[in-house]
């Protein structure tokens, strides 16, 4: 019986990684959910939008590092985010202008817009590989650890170590700030309120004099910012590789749908639900249980519900279960 | 339009008869390597080394009354079995190669062997396919390799652990034919020595995050983590994540993990970790280095020595059989590769041809001390190293 060690092991291998991953998913899912709520389609290009934004951030970071700019213990990439957001936003508006606006004017069915977004996804995909290539890119610098496993063990004398990477802490803090800002914007500002009105009832909003093109533009700007921030945080915490961003699409959609498409709070909750179940279900609980139970009851097996190979299957399973029992998601989003 | 078609056919016919004329004095050897794909950075040097051996044979002027060996390259892609099979099929049916130097990666090598080489009776000598499964593949005596099977590597790794007195380890392998084969053979040898594997978990290459995999391995525990992956792919990711979370701080590494970039990035934290990598030393390796330096070929790259040896064995086997045919190669490779006979180093292929022409026996040593055992695969020498002061330090050879 050793509750303290159990707690530390659990924190180190489940809670800390899942918090960081959940924050990244939540930011991604917020972007998806905003587009769904306001533009009324599932944007499959979102993963590659994140990759696009991150790519700009990586290139700017390299330029800054080359020029000798540094934030000390913080990653230089933080400085590059505003610039990367500006470029990504310009690209989003350009895409909307040349692609989506045409279909919006035709008032096409959402499913056609979904297919269009898949086309956009492929174009982004190609452009990214053209500019930065398909390989792994590292752009993190600054202090690597807030607490390293070895220091923690030495300081506390516990058997288990606890490591918190500075990027993990940074991810959670940034995500909280960004989400707070977004909610303030949606609930307190005139533009934010007009966006919600447009989302709730398009015709009524138009009648009350809301300019739809302006709402669409602001939406794309916010989505560009969310996608870039989510992408950069994910890249800092793990590494930047275009293909893994494409793969993120599945957990992000799972998060958005679990929370309820179109509901910002749902997107955040969904992000954490998906992250915690992915990591919790594929984690081998042997060690934690071994500490918590008396020696005679300690498990021999790994107590791992699913092998880590099936990580993505967890997102699928959650998706199916939610769609079966609560099609509108946990927070009553728009019915699909 | 009709005239054009007739003209095309006519000229094609003329061209093929013209080619047929020169065929008598030419024997084509396929060089099937992954010029595109995951090991595209290694294959140009491998092909250069193989072609260097063929050139040496041609330049000696003593090969089968003036027959010229012509290398023909084809792309195995390393991972796409269908593409590799199509490329090999083209070499055999269209180009008419009599033997194949290749393929490179284990998966595509198995595909080319069963789909092309065996049905057409064309022998293959692979310089780099190490999967133990190839030892037992149905090959009709047509498959050889100058790279040792990973079954041997598994024994070597298990032997190192035994010497160190380590009896409980966790294992992770890259999720492909190579990783699976190596981990199976390692675990079999390790358990035969009385060791215990707490968990044998695969990892996928090219992922951003390995903390979940490391979490499971950490839970299973063990004195150290055995990493059978690639140094610039998931293997490195696993080590990085283990160090980050404090799950393991000592690692044993398979041959795919040997790379300077790894110790540059993580060496300081990996002090005391160790591993094994196929290595060549001695007169053969030195002679090969002199030869490649003189020819302007990068002979220091991975598997260049094995490639040279594979091509040289094809040529010598033809000479031994007295004809540049597939049958001659298949029948005589083991004969020229192994004792008894005059030892032949790289750069001495002309001398070997003379001896064979005079009816003598040769024992091709080559750049990698070639000794083909079992079903025609290299026994191999491994260098056991430890990481000391962020550098690889040799302990011994086994």
Q: What is the model's pLDDT at position A156?
A: 86
Instruction: Verify that B172 and B268 share a domain, yes or no.
Output: yes
How much of chain A exceeds pLDDT 70, in percent?
99
Q: Per residue in A315-324, pLDDT tens?
A: 889 888 988 9
Give the pLDDT confidence score for residue A99 in this predicted structure: 94
Identify whether residues B175 and B298 lie together within a single domain. Answer: no
Q: Taking 60 as the threshold, does the pLDDT of residue B19 lie above it? A: no
Judge if B384 and B374 occupy the same domain: no
List, in order, residues 6 or more apart from B117 with CB less than 8 Å away.
B88, B92, B100, B123, B124, B139, B142, B143
Provide the pLDDT for residue B22. 44
B265 or B123, higher pLDDT: B123
pLDDT, mean over chain A = 90
C-alpha distances in Å from residue A319, one per residue of A111, A260, A316, A322, A325? 19, 11, 5, 5, 10
Q: Please report which residue ranges of B165-274 form alpha helices under DSSP H.
A: 177-192, 211-220, 234-245, 260-266
Whether residue A184 has pLDDT greater than 90? yes
Positive or negative: CA dihedral B163, B167, B172, B174: positive
**What residues of chain A lie within 8 A of the CB of B207, using their CB?**
244
Task: Provide the residue count of chain A.
Answer: 336
Name A226's Cβ contacts closer than 8 Å, sequence gap at least 6: A27, A28, A30, A31, A34, A178, A182
- Whole-number pLDDT of residue B79: 86
> Do B245 and A163 make contact, defined as CB atoms within 8 angstroms?
yes
Residues B201 and B141 in one domain: no
CB A17 to CB B212 under 8 A? yes
* pLDDT tens by residue, A95-120: 999 999 999 999 899 899 999 999 99
Q: Which helix (H) or strand (E) holds A176?
A: helix A166-188
Residue B308's pLDDT is: 95
What's the average model confidence in pLDDT over A157-161? Answer: 84
Q: Which of B202, B244, B245 sits opposite A309 (nearest CB)?
A: B202
pLDDT, one tens digit per residue, over B97-132 is 999 998 988 889 999 999 999 999 999 999 999 888
Which of A63-72, A83-92, A103-112 is predicted most confidently? A83-92
Give the per-residue pLDDT at B3.
61
Q: Do the beta carbons of residue B326 and residue B123 sit within 8 Å?
A: yes
Cβ distance of A13 and B219 shorter than 8 Å:
yes
Percent of chain A scored above 90 by pLDDT? Answer: 53
Asked if B246's CB is within 8 angstroms of A279's CB, the reply is no
pLDDT surpassing 50 at residue B363:
yes
Looking at the fold, whether B144 and B181 belong to one and the same domain comes out as no
User: Is B175 an interface residue toward A (CB < 8 Å)?
Assistant: yes
Structure tokens, A127: 């452009």
Chain B residues with CB inside 8 Å of A279's CB? 211-212, 215
| pLDDT score of B38 more than 80 | no
Look at residue B23 in the predicted model and tell me its pLDDT: 46
Report the alpha-carbon angle A122-A125-A127, nearest 5: 110
Whether A336 has a pLDDT exceeding 50, the answer reads no
Residue A34 confidence class, pLDDT cut points 50, 70, 90: very high
- Quick check: A142 and A166 in contact, CB under 8 A? yes
Same domain (yes/no): B28, B139? yes
Strand order through the sheet with B224-228? B196-203, B168-174, B224-228, B251-253, B274-278, B382-388, B391-397
Do B268 and B339 belong together in one domain? no
pLDDT tens digits for range B191-210: 999 999 998 989 988 787 88
pLDDT of residue B8: 56
Domain assignments of chain A as residue spans, ordered by start: 19-253
The span from the CA of A192 to the CA of A205, in Å, is 13
Q: Determine the average pLDDT of the residues in B260-278.
A: 86
Task: Please answer yes or no on whether A244 and B220 come within 8 Å at the CB atom.
Answer: no
- Which one, of B73, B259, B254, lies nearest residue B176 by Cα? B254
What is the per-residue pLDDT for B186? Answer: 94
**And the tokens for A142?**
């600054």
A217 or A328, greater pLDDT: A217
User: Token match 């494409």: residue?
Assistant: A246
CATH number of the structural domain spanning residue B160? 3.40.50.2300
Task: Name residues whose C-beta falls within 8 Å of residue B81's C-beta, 6 or more positions apart in sequence.
Answer: B107, B108, B110, B111
Phi-psi map region of B199: left, alpha, beta (phi>0 left; psi -120 to 50 alpha) = beta
Residues B247 and B385 in one domain: yes
In chain B, whose CA is at the least distance from the CA of A240? B208
User: How many domains is chain B partitioned into structurally?
Assistant: 2
Q: Which is higher by pLDDT, B24 or A310?
A: A310
Residue B384: per-residue pLDDT: 92
Domain that holds residue B15: 2-148+282-378
Indicate yes or no: CB of A149 within 8 angstroms of CB of B206: no
- Do B195 and B140 have their domain in common? no
Answer yes or no: do B72 and B191 share one domain: no
CA distances from A310 to B6, B203, B212, B396 (A): 59, 11, 11, 41
The string of pLDDT tens digits covering residues B318-353 is 999 999 999 999 999 999 999 888 999 999 999 999
Looking at chain B, which residue has its C-alpha nearest residue A161? Answer: B246
- Asked if residues B297 and B49 have their Cβ atoms less than 8 Å apart, the reply is yes
- pLDDT tens by residue, B228-240: 988 878 888 899 8
Sequential DSSP letters for B270-303: GTT-EEEEE---SHHHHHHHHHHHHHT---SSTT
Q: Give the predicted TM-score (pTM) of the model.
A: 0.76
Instruction: Kindly provide the ipTM of the predicted complex, given to two decimals.
Output: 0.78
**Cβ proximity of A292 and A1 under 8 Å:** yes
Q: Are residues B344 and B384 in the same domain?
A: no
pLDDT at B329: 93
Q: How confident is the model at residue B7 (pLDDT cuts 50, 70, 90)?
A: low
């Amino acid at each position: 019986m050793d509750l303290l060690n159990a707690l530390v092991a659990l924190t180190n291998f489940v809670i800390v990684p899942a918090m960081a991953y959940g924050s990244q998913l939540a930011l991604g899912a917020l972007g998806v959910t905003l587009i769904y709520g306001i533009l009324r389609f599932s944007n499959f290009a979102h993963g590659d939008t994140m990759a696009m934004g991150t790519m700009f951030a990586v290139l700017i970071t390299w330029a800054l590092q080359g020029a000798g700019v540094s934030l000390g213990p913080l990653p230089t990439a933080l400085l590059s985010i505003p610039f990367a957001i500006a470029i990504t936003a310009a690209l989003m508006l350009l895409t909307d202008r040349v692609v989506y606006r045409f279909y919006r004017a035709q008032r096409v069915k959402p499913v056609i817009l979904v297919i269009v977004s898949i086309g956009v996804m492929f174009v982004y995909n190609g452009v990214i590989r053209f500019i930065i290539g398909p390989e792994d890119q590292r752009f993190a610098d600054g202090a690597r650890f807030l607490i390293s496993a070895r220091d923690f063990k030495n300081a506390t004398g516990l058997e288990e170590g606890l490591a918190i990477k500075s990027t993990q802490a940074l991810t959670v803090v940034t995500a909280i700030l960004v989400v707070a800002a977004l909610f303030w914007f949606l609930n307190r500002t005139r533009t934010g309120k007009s966006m919600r009105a447009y989302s709730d009832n398009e015709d009524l909003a138009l009648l009350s004099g809301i300019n739809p093109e302006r709402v669409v533009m602001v939406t794309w700007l916010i989505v560009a910012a969310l996608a870039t921030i989510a992408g950069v945080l994910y890249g800092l915490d793990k590494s930047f590789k275009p293909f893994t961003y494409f793969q993120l699409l599945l957990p992000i959609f799972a998060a958005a749908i679990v929370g309820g498409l179109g509901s910002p709070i749902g997107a955040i909750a969904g992000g954490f639900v998906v992250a915690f179940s992915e990591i919790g279900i594929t984690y081998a609980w042997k060690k934690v249980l071994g500490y918590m139970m008396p020696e005679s009851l300690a498990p021999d097996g790994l107590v791992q519900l699913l092998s880590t190979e099936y990580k993505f299957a967890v997102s699928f399973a959650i998706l199916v279960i939610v769609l079966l029992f609560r099609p509108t998601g946990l927070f009553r989003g728009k019915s699909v | 339009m009709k005239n054009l078609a007739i003209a095309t056919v006519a000229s094609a016919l003329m061209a093929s008869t013209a080619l047929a004329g020169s065929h008598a004095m030419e024997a084509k050897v396929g060089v099937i390597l992954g010029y595109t794909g995951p090991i595209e950075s290694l294959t140009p040097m491998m092909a250069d080394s193989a072609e260097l051996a063929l050139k040496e044979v041609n330049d000696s002027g003593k090969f089968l009354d003036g027959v010229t060996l012509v290398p023909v390259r084809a792309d195995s892609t390393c991972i796409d079995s269908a593409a590799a099979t199509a490329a090999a099929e083209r070499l055999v049916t269209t180009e008419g190669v009599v033997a194949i130097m290749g393929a490179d990666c284990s998966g595509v090598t198995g595909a080319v062997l069963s789909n092309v080489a065996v049905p057409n009776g064309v022998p293959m000598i692979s310089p780099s396919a190490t999967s133990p499964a190839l030892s037992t593949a149905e090959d009709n005596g047509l498959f050889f390799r100058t790279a040792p099977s990973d079954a041997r590597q598994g024994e070597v790794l298990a032997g190192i652990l035994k010497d160190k007195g380590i009896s409980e380890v966790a294992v992770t392998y890259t999720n492909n034919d190579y990783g699976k084969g190596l981990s199976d053979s390692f675990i079999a040898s390790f358990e035969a020595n009385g060791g215990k594997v707490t968990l044998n978990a695969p990892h996928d290459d090219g992922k951003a995050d390995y903390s979940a995999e490391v979490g499971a391995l950490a839970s299973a525990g063990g004195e150290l983590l055995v990493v059978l992956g690639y140094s610039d792919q998931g293997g490195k990711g696993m080590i990085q994540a283990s160090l980050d979370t404090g799950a393991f701080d000592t690692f044993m590494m398979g041959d795919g993990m040997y790379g300077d970039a790894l110790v540059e990035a993580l060496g300081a934290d990996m002090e005391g970790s160790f591993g094994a990598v196929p290595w060549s030393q001695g007169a053969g390796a030195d002679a090969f280095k002199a030869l490649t330096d003189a020819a302007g070929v990068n002979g220091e790259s991975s598997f260049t020595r094995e490639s040279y040896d594979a091509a040289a064995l094809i040529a010598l086997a033809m000479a031994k059989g007295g004809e540049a045919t597939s049958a001659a190669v298949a029948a005589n490779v083991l004969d020229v590769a192994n004792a008894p006979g005059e030892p032949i180093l790289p750069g001495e292929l002309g001398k070997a041809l003379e001896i064979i022409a005079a009816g003598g026996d040769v024992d091709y040593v080559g750049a990698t001390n070639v000794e083909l055992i079992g079903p025609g695969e290299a026994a191999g020498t491994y260098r056991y190293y430890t990481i000391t002061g962020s550098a690889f330090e040799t302990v011994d050879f086994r």
